[in-house]
Amino acid sequence: MIADTVSGKVNGVGQGGVASFRGIPYAASPIGELRFAPPAPHPGWAGVREATQAGPAVPQPASRLERVMGTRVPDWDEDGCLTVNVHAPRHAFDGDAPRPVLLWWHGGGFSSGSGGWDWYDGARLAELGDIVVVTANYRLGPLGYLYLPELGAANLGAQDQAAVLRWVRDNIASFGGDPRTVTVGGQSAGAFSSLSLALDPETSGLVTRVLLESGPFGLPPRDPANAAETAAEFLRLLDVPADANVLRALPVEQLLSAYGRLSRPGRVDPPMFPVLGGPGVPRPWAQALADGALEGKSLMLGTTRDEVTAFLAFDPDIRDLTAARAIDLLTGQLGDRAHDVYREHAARLPQATPGQVFTAIQTDALFRDGTLSLADHHAAGANPTYVYQFDFQPAEDELGLGATHCAELPFLFTTFDAYPDSPMLGRPTAADRELGRAFATAVAEFVSTGSVQDWLPYAPKTPARVRHFG
């Protein structure tokens, strides 16, 4: 099946009732002079380009969550990594009414992941919901978020994402999609990115609806001064000056190695992520929300029940915490509220160890509190708002992960078989697969209509309106 894009024709492959087009370039390869530069237009191609295989991932280290999600064979290459993947119902090409579009961003702490991985294959979701699903790569780690604005390097990954959104605007009609009905959505770093796209005046007008899965909204966009300090430390580790030509000449493996030495064990936040005031994040989220940037857009958002176990379950210092030490750590984070917050969570989790109580507090602080605050604000303005909590945990949960970060992903995309060794999933049963169908159906219906049947919209401060899956 052939579709036209502004850069040339592409040939996809049929999968049942879906046509999939993989590895379509949306920008020129970010190599040579284009490394540490904003995305540049792709020069295009003659004839018909085969779009049957996903392009390479963006250069990256191994994921911090491999012990939770499962391992992946490295498949990255800086050359040719800026690509999109489009999955559309076959009958969308018959000239019928265009289908709503979901542009979905992978997570990975702005350090790892790829929209082309089979974990996020959108074919089944596209067929289930009669929607067009788009996934994409964006630059990660130092290639995407090194903050050297004097060299033109600022939020390059966010600039890639804006370029993808504009690519959807200009091309998705050729795949049977409706550029006037676009949901931006994603998980974790992808949720952070989706909210930023919806709030940024440069891209907000291209966004109709917003889907935020496990958004780390307890981590606001990075302070420029802190980002500059991290950039300076990165250059010290590389032993190079802040010179674009020097940085462009270094092997990418050397950049990744230095980035790895910036990481801090036990921390959820990555060394580099979007910086406030840079492209894509021109103002604080709170100010953008107060200014009404999200008004009129339907919103679906939620968390897993036990988000932070993915990051802390393997940390011996957390496992061995005493109550006194947990409160001491929390005091540095919460101040005078630390003791009361610990006591409240301990009462709610009477069988939990101090380490587990501490982890539950971090789940609230980093994920749930910000999600509910955003939902409260949006619903208070009479905007359609749907809030969920994903409660699934595997029957055999030897690691004590519970319903951990990323647990909903196999259910959303019906890609259970892509996670053969994943502790967060285990061995899915028929009931688990039916849960996936229910979750995916709700998401697809939201993408299509901005609402969900048999799901009461959220009302501020109303936990009973949170829908639980699992």
- Reported confidence tier of residue 265, pLDDT bands at 50, 70, 90: low
Residue 121 belongs to domain with CATH number: 3.40.50.1820
Task: Kindly state the average pLDDT of the residues 233-261.
Answer: 97
Tens of pLDDT, residues 331-351: 988 999 999 999 999 999 999
Catalytic residue among 196, 405, 408, 422: 405
152 & 192 share domain: yes
Q: Which of 63, 114, 188, 448 is catalytic?
A: 188
Residues 325, 203, single domain; the answer is no
Q: CA distances (Å), 350 to each of 36, 306, 353, in order? A: 50, 16, 9
CA atoms within 13 A on the CB side of 299: 31
Which pLDDT score is estimated for 294?
Answer: 98
Mean pLDDT across the stretch 297-311?
Answer: 97
| Per-residue confidence (pLDDT) for residue 96, from 0 to 100 | 82
Closest alpha carbon to 152 in 247, 291, 81, 66: 247
For residues 165 and 68, state if they share a domain.
yes
Among 359, 386, 416, identify where a domain stops.
359
Active site residue 174: no
Q: What is the mean pLDDT of residues 4-19?
A: 96
Q: Can you give the pLDDT at residue 60?
A: 97
Q: Which tens digits make up the pLDDT trace of 168-226?
A: 999 999 999 999 999 999 999 999 999 999 999 999 999 999 999 999 999 999 999 99
pLDDT, tens digit, 9 for 90 and up, residues 405-445: 999 999 999 999 999 989 999 999 999 999 999 999 999 99
pLDDT exceeds 60 at position 266: no
Same domain, 91 and 229: yes
Domain that holds residue 238: 2-316+367-469
The whole-model pTM stands at: 0.97
Length of the chain: 470
How many domains, the chain?
Answer: 2
Share of the chain above pLDDT 70, in %: 99
Q: For 434-444, how does the pLDDT look when each residue is reduced to its tens digit (9 = 90+)?
A: 999 999 999 99
User: Is residue 307 flagged as an active site residue?
Assistant: yes
Say yes or no to pLDDT of 87 above 70: yes
Active site residue 87: no
Among 300, 330, 359, residue at a domain's last position: 359
Average confidence score pLDDT of the chain: 96
pLDDT on residue 269: 86
Report the C-alpha gap between 219 and 222 in whole angstroms. 8
Residue 397 scores a pLDDT above 80 = yes
Same domain, 79 and 128: yes
Burial of 201-223, coded b for 16+ CB within 10 Å and e otherwise, reads: eebbebbbbbbbbbbbbbbebbe
Mean pLDDT of 287-297: 97
- Read off the pLDDT of each residue in 11-20 and give the average, rounded to a whole number: 95
Same domain, 73 and 89: yes
Residue 181 in tokens: 């009905």
Residues 34 and 122 grouped into a single domain = yes
Average of pLDDT values for 281-292?
97
Residue 304: per-residue pLDDT: 98
What single letter denotes the amino acid at residue 261?
R
Nearest Cα residue to 281 out of 214, 378, 197: 197
Residues 244, 296 within the same domain? yes
Catalytic residue (one of 127, 307, 408, 445): 307
Whether the Cβ atoms of residue 87 and residue 176 lie closer than 8 Å to each other: no
Same domain for 233 and 346, yes or no, is: no
- Across the range 154-166, mean pLDDT stands at 98
